[in-house]
Amino acid sequence: MVHRVVNLDIPGRFAGTVPVWLSRLACALFGVGLAVAMRLAIDLVAPGVAPFALVYPAALVATLLGGWQAGLGTLYFTQVLAWMFVMPTVGGVHTQVQFIGAVLVAITGTMVVLVGEGFRVSSRHIVAERNAKLAERELMFRELQHRVTNDFAIVNSLLDLQRRRSNSPETRDALEQAMGRVRSIARIHRRIYAIPEGSSVSIRQYIDDLCVALRDAVLPPAGIGLKWDCEDVKLTRECALSVGLVANELVTNAVKHAFPDGRDGEIRVRFSRTGNGWRLSVVDDGVGMSPADRKAGLGTGLIESFVAQAGGTLTVTGERGTAAHLDLPPSVAVA
């Protein structure tokens, strides 16, 4: 789903359902109504002050919404109303100076409308170009997703073909396990990238699904356990993706490095509220990591990039086991 930029061009948005002239007339009437409402409010404290001052913002708003036709309609009609009902008279007659002033207001107001129309046209082109780029990006992303999915299927088929041809029970079992890992990794990929753009994500459900897939994909058959606990909060799609990718990398690193020589242990994943926002924690009770190992394995590369995308900070300690904490600001939560 592409999160498109909203265009406030009223005639364009309702083209095909409402006649263009009717949309422009509605925008002009809205501008007139806005000017009248502002004038009534001002007259409560300063009756009659600056008779033509409100025609400019009203005409500009009508132009931005409905085009120069709506802007000029608002400008001239509100100017007539101001001339008839707001402009003071001398013995019931307007003076020549007042007439010249009204003409100048009409000229300068027309210039304001033309400037507003230029801005409106430019912004419409920018919005159309932006939406086209977003649509192209979404198409390329879906194509990439489709190709990656096909690659997983091809790898799985090749492993299955080799398994069928093998006469060794041990080889067949090893290939079967490898096929299971490939299927699990493919599920992780689908969960991470199948979330619609612009939507919010339940991080509890997301981490639950991710950890189940990780348990099946990267944990050995026995010896290492994976447990997780998450508070129920919604995050933006982009932040949830980054959190999931960080969790995926941290758990994978723990499996690879924390339990050498077949050592048993446990990895715990937790997402919870803190006094300063939210925290993702991935903690293991393995052999720990030296400062040099932490810098090489956790402080650079993919994890560093994912942490930056999430807008958080990562701290790692590793004296007894390894504890990695991704701290996020309160603003990542979606109401």
315 conformational bin, left if phi > 0, alpha if psi -120 to 50, beta if neither: beta
Q: At what angle are helices 237-257 and 203-218 packed, to 10 degrees?
A: 30
Residues 54-71 have pLDDT tens digits of 899 999 999 999 999 999
Residue 238's CB is within 10 A of a number of other CB atoms, namely: 16
Most confident range, picked from 20-34, 148-162, 226-240, 318-332: 20-34
- Within a 10 A sphere around the Cβ of 38, how many other Cβ atoms? 15
pLDDT digits (tens, 9 = 90+) for 252-286: 888 888 888 888 999 999 999 998 899 999 999 98
Nearest to 233 by CA among 155, 330, 104: 330
Query: Residue 155: is it exposed, middle or buried by C-beta count within 10 angstroms (0-12/13-18/19+)?
Result: middle
Query: What is the pLDDT averaged over residues 288-295?
Result: 60
pLDDT tens for each residue of 81-96: 999 988 888 778 888 8
Our separate counts of H helices and E strands in the chain read 10, 7
Alpha carbon separation from 34 to 54, 55, 173 (Å, rounded): 9, 10, 76
* Average pLDDT of the chain, as a whole number: 85
Q: Is the pTM of this model over 0.85?
A: no
